[in-house]
A and B are shown apart, each in its own frame.
Chain A
Amino acid sequence: MEGALTVADERTREVVQLLISRGGKRLRPALLLLSARYGNGNEEQLLKAAAGLELIHVASLYHDDVMDRAMTRRAAATANGSWGNSVATMGGVFLFAKAISLISSLGSSANQITGTATCRLCAGQLREAENAFNVDITVDEHLEILNLKTATLFELPCQLGMLLSPCNPEQATALTCYGNRLGLAFQLVDDALDWEGDKESLGKTPLSDIREGVYSLPVIHVLESSGSQSQRLRSLLIQRRLSEADVLEIKRIVHDSGGVSVALEKARELVMDAKKQVSILPAGFPLTSLRALADFCLTRTN
């Protein structure tokens, strides 16, 4: 990755290396390299693909931070927090361009599935924005959006890993399904975590999301159920300005109606399913890691 981000101009380098240098979970490269263990791929190509995927992910973080107006990430200033929206956006474009430059050398299929995946990712983001303030959105529609927006970038590493390091088709399908379930579970847990904590105090993320009309599964679950709680929540959400008392009431309703636990239960099911999918793979280190990765997704709840 550092190789791809070598730029002579110091001020540009500072911008584009900002988040990469801070580390991160590197989940997508890990998934790719694990998926490649079932075949016999070329090491250098796999590394290129892994770096490309992480760069796409990091590019999306630059842009997410601009849209969310996030000033910090991983306990330090974001690119937009440091240099403003334009610089952060162009920094993200730079990373994306470098990513596809790496992937373009991996053959036509790899290049094409990555192209399709990035379009799905963007379509998911647009769909989410379109549904802002949609109190009629269903759980199914919401999951479909998460499928595009988040799960795509978990499926893609598995697909690329297997493409560059071919294994048998059953194993390939199992790994792709695994990636999909894992991605969904990660997002659901992330969204549910926002609602954790003392229900009498204001959290931070759900508040701004709710003000901007972006609803996650805990909220949508309550909205979709019938009854007075759902009605009340609806009338609170569509207001133009939410007072602190409104937000606290929303939080209480979502908790009392079981929205958060439903979301976590759904994540647990997905993790179970993910592990079941890969159970056809031969025992060994990669399988153990894939299972551990799935479990890791749930342990973050505490």
Chain B
Amino acid sequence: MNVDADVIIVGAGPAGSSAAYHLARLGRRILLLEKGRFPRDKSCGDGLTRSSVRILASMGVLPKLDGARKISGSRVFMRGQGHRDFLYPQGLGEPDHGLVVPRFRLDQAICDRAVESGADLREKVLVQALVYENNVPALDVICDGVSTRLKAPVIVAADGATSRLAIQAGLADRVSRNLGIAIRGYYAGIEGLQDLLEIYMPLMDPTDSFILPSYGWVFPTDRDTANIGVGIFDRRDGISVRDLMDRFLEYLQQTDSRFRGMTSQGAWLGAPLNFAFRPDRCYGNGILLVGDAAGLISPFTGEGIAYALESGQIAADAIHRNLRNSRVSPDLSDYALMLERRFLGYFETGHQSARRYLFLWHVLESTFHNEKPLFALCRKAALYPEGIGESNPSQILDDVSPLIDRGGLRVREDLLAVGELLIHALRRDWPFLARLSAAGQGDPGVPFRPALLLLLSAALKPSHVDREVLHWASCSVELGYLSALAHLSIEEEAWQTQFAEDRPANWGTMLAVMAGDFLLSKAYELSARLGGGVTLALADAMSLVSEGRVREQRSAFRQDLSEMEYLETLTLKMATLFELPCQLGAQFSAFTQEEEAAIRLFGRNLGLAFTLTDQVLEWTGKSSELGKLMSCDRNRGVYSWPVLRSLRTGGLATPTTAILEETLAEAGHYADVARESLAVFGNEPAAQTLRRLAGYAVDRKAGSNPDLRALL
């Protein structure tokens, strides 16, 4: 049987052209079919995030986009609550900006690049039907008015949100409930546009009585022109997207002087939005879906170009790896696995996804100005244009890799394995949490985190335990800590004074309680698999930490706390967190009773040294991110040790330098005790590393140039 190409790609938008480019570069014969003729227009916001720009740079498309408007981040307006900026950090490599490029220009540029690389582009081709001959796919098409059949072992469906190929291949329902719709127009005469993608959420219905799952955008295309549009995720009876657009424009003109004199440039253009991403329905017999056809659109910001480009590349890799014989369609199942891994938690899988987004929307709206850790993370994950963990390393945990002894410790590998388990433990029930816990998973280096203490403690003595068991135990401990972090995000309310009817819903508190409970239950479930001893250690630690936090809250505003009382509470709520992983490490290795006591003593003192140092650093503006998250809340009467000391001696709430220095000296003392407690372990590499960590708890010096290669 003769075939017409190795791969036929239907649709020459960003996803299709990306797949064509990558496959052509790998030496494959490609037919790229386009129903229109270039240049042609598409409805889109035209915003390219930095991720998109980076992919385009790697494909060599960027020179063709010379002169396009550069973007330094996004500005999100939350109805009635002002705005927040999410800027691309500088100094993390080029390109460090986004772009706004009209699709009229962008699509042609990417397609040209695919053609330059060897793809065979056919324009004005209408695809009629997907058929199979001897189990190999073929397409009945009309080309220049002539019907013909094109064959290839693999078809890539890049035919957009309402992909007919997906329906014909049985990968999409004829009527998808998950289709949204967006509409855009170009406007001129806008004053003072900045180089930010502006996003407005949420919008209200025409009667102004209920919130729609929708957003509006203003993306600057030039100095005073912009692409303005609205998108709605969930089609509702009686809601017209054109009405919504009218109202959005009116809102901009009435509330923001920049838009007062704007004029329309041409007609509006609308397009459906497909959010129905499901990895298991992204491939079939000899066919793959990419980009919009696969439902790869962010449910928060409507972004789709980066995912289109990336899914095209992932599809190309999967096809190239598996395609050996032009007469047999290859097994394409690893495409689904790769997509799932890549986009986990950002695009959710399964039928509950649409609902879950609404819940997160409520949370985002009601916690827009809340700086507690859980909400800051959610906001970043949902609204930061690239999402969390992508070329935006989480800086919550310090990198301590220079402190790790190179003598045969494999902690980086182990920590990566623990990270994978964390994702695995959460992904099925609540993928968004998996995404949050995966923050920073891609970072180089060794983060200072509980799993590190567990692994190093276990490495003090020869262990006969399977490494996997250590990984699971680490995972359980980290879930417990994530739970504590979620519960820390709970806000107090001034609700006693309000009537029930006027109270805003407490979505933030609800999420914090539920996420915290869920994470704690997961921690428990995992520990139970490892035996009652692990559960008992976890349970005892959690009860001590919660007791410490209850005591702390109930001693609020008390200035007569004795040093002993204060340190007791601090030991309960903070030192316990450092002691638990050390204790578990000991449980899995052949520790004597004396040795176990020694490593636990180390953990406790390390925790005190670390916490007291953070309390001092708070006043120098240099405390660690973790320290900020766990920090005391002066306004609510929860004092740090230097503050309490100052208040007790009749001073101000701002401690003197002398008090700060004394506190630092105390921290140094605890670090010394920690180091000394390791004497029983001699000079093993793990013992040396732990000693260095005790020093780091106080001096916070971990070197600026981590030598990663030595760790691997």
Q: Chain A residues in contact with chain B, CB under 8 A?
A: 7, 9, 11-12, 15-16, 63, 66-67, 69, 71, 83-87, 89-91, 93-94, 96-98, 100-101, 103-108, 111-112, 114-116, 118-119, 121-123, 125-127, 129-134, 207-208, 211-212, 238-241
Q: A207 contacts which chain B residues (CB < 8 A)?
A: 500
Whether A7 contacts B209 by the Cβ 8 Å rule is: no
* Any A CB within 8 A of the CB of B91: no
Whether A130 contacts B352 by the Cβ 8 Å rule is: yes
B137 to chain A, nearest CB (A): 36
* Any A CB within 8 A of the CB of B532: yes
Q: A91 contacts which chain B residues (CB < 8 A)?
A: 546, 550
B470 to chain A, nearest CB (A): 19
Q: B148 contacts which chain A residues (CB < 8 A)?
A: none
Q: B429 contacts which chain A residues (CB < 8 A)?
A: 119, 123, 126
Whether B551 contacts A9 by the Cβ 8 Å rule is: yes
* Any A CB within 8 A of the CB of B468: no
Whether A122 contacts B546 by the Cβ 8 Å rule is: no
* Any A CB within 8 A of the CB of B462: no
A15 to chain B, nearest CB (A): 5
Whether A107 contacts B553 by the Cβ 8 Å rule is: no
Whether B495 contacts A63 by the Cβ 8 Å rule is: no
* Any A CB within 8 A of the CB of B542: yes
B663 to chain A, nearest CB (A): 24
**11 A-B residue pairs with CB within 8 Å:** A67-B514, A85-B491, A90-B546, A90-B550, A93-B520, A98-B539, A104-B532, A108-B531, A112-B525, A116-B525, A239-B209
Q: A97 contacts which chain B residues (CB < 8 A)?
A: 539-540, 542-543, 546
- Give B511's nearest chain A residue, CB to CB: A129
Whether B210 contacts A240 by the Cβ 8 Å rule is: yes
B25 to chain A, nearest CB (A): 42
Whether B528 contacts A123 by the Cβ 8 Å rule is: no
Q: B352 contacts which chain A residues (CB < 8 A)?
A: 127, 130
What is the interface size of chain B, counting residues whose CB is below 8 A from a CB of the partner?
61
Please give 8 more A-B residue pairs, beta carbons under 8 A apart, in addition to A86-B490, A115-B525, A130-B358.
Answer: A7-B547, A67-B506, A84-B553, A90-B550, A100-B524, A101-B535, A104-B535, A122-B514
- Give B512's nearest chain A residue, CB to CB: A89
B376 to chain A, nearest CB (A): 18
Cα distance, A265 to B503, chains bound together (Å): 35
Q: Which 8 A-B pairs have the closest CB atoms?
A: A115-B525, A97-B543, A101-B539, A104-B535, A115-B528, A97-B542, A122-B518, A118-B521
Q: Which of B326-355 contact A (CB under 8 A)?
A: 352, 355
A274 to chain B, nearest CB (A): 27
Q: A106 contacts which chain B residues (CB < 8 A)?
A: 532
Most buried by B among A15, A116, A126, A238: A126
**Other-chain residue from A63, A101, A127, A241 in contact with B517 (beta carbon distance below 8 A):** A63
B177 to chain A, nearest CB (A): 9
Cα distance, A69 to B539, chains bound together (Å): 27
Whether B209 contacts A108 by the Cβ 8 Å rule is: no
Given contacts A90-B550, A119-B522, contact A111 B487 (CB under 8 A): no
* Any A CB within 8 A of the CB of B269: no
Whether A90 contacts B536 by the Cβ 8 Å rule is: no
Cα distance, A67 to B355, chains bound together (Å): 20
Q: Which of B498-519 contact A (CB under 8 A)?
A: 500-501, 503, 505-506, 509-511, 513-518
Whether A66 contacts B509 by the Cβ 8 Å rule is: yes
* Any A CB within 8 A of the CB of B466: no
- Give B487's nearest chain A residue, CB to CB: A89
Given contacts A7-B547, A100-B524, contact A122 B517 (CB under 8 A): yes
**Other-chain residue from B495, B514, B543, B547 in contact with A69 (beta carbon distance below 8 A):** B495
Q: Which of B514-572 contact A (CB under 8 A)?
A: 514-518, 520-522, 524-529, 531-533, 535-536, 538-540, 542-543, 545-547, 549-551, 553-555
Most buried by B among A89, A107, A116: A89
- Give B542's nearest chain A residue, CB to CB: A97
* Any A CB within 8 A of the CB of B410: no
- Give B207's nearest chain A residue, CB to CB: A239
Given contacts A123-B518, A130-B359, A238-B210, contact A63 B513 (CB under 8 A): yes
- Give A102's nearest chain B residue, CB to CB: B539
Whether B505 contacts A240 by the Cβ 8 Å rule is: no
Whether A240 contacts B209 by the Cβ 8 Å rule is: yes
Q: A134 contacts which chain B residues (CB < 8 A)?
A: 355, 358
* Any A CB within 8 A of the CB of B321: no
A267 to chain B, nearest CB (A): 26
Whether B492 contacts A84 by the Cβ 8 Å rule is: yes
Q: A86 contacts which chain B residues (CB < 8 A)?
A: 490, 492, 549, 553
Whether A114 contacts B528 by the Cβ 8 Å rule is: yes
- Give A94's nearest chain B residue, CB to CB: B546
Q: B35 contacts which chain A residues (CB < 8 A)?
A: none
Whether B510 contacts A87 by the Cβ 8 Å rule is: no
Whether B536 contacts A119 by the Cβ 8 Å rule is: no
- Give A59's nearest chain B residue, CB to CB: B517
Whether A12 contacts B551 by the Cβ 8 Å rule is: yes
A124 to chain B, nearest CB (A): 10
Q: B242 contacts which chain A residues (CB < 8 A)?
A: none
Whether A101 contacts B495 by the Cβ 8 Å rule is: no
Whether A111 contacts B528 by the Cβ 8 Å rule is: yes
Whether B491 contacts A131 by the Cβ 8 Å rule is: no
Q: A114 contacts which chain B residues (CB < 8 A)?
A: 524, 528
Most buried by B among A15, A67, A112: A67
- Give B355's nearest chain A residue, CB to CB: A130
Whether B358 contacts A15 by the Cβ 8 Å rule is: no
- Give A15's nearest chain B residue, CB to CB: B550
Whether A69 contacts B503 by the Cβ 8 Å rule is: yes
Whether A87 contacts B358 by the Cβ 8 Å rule is: no
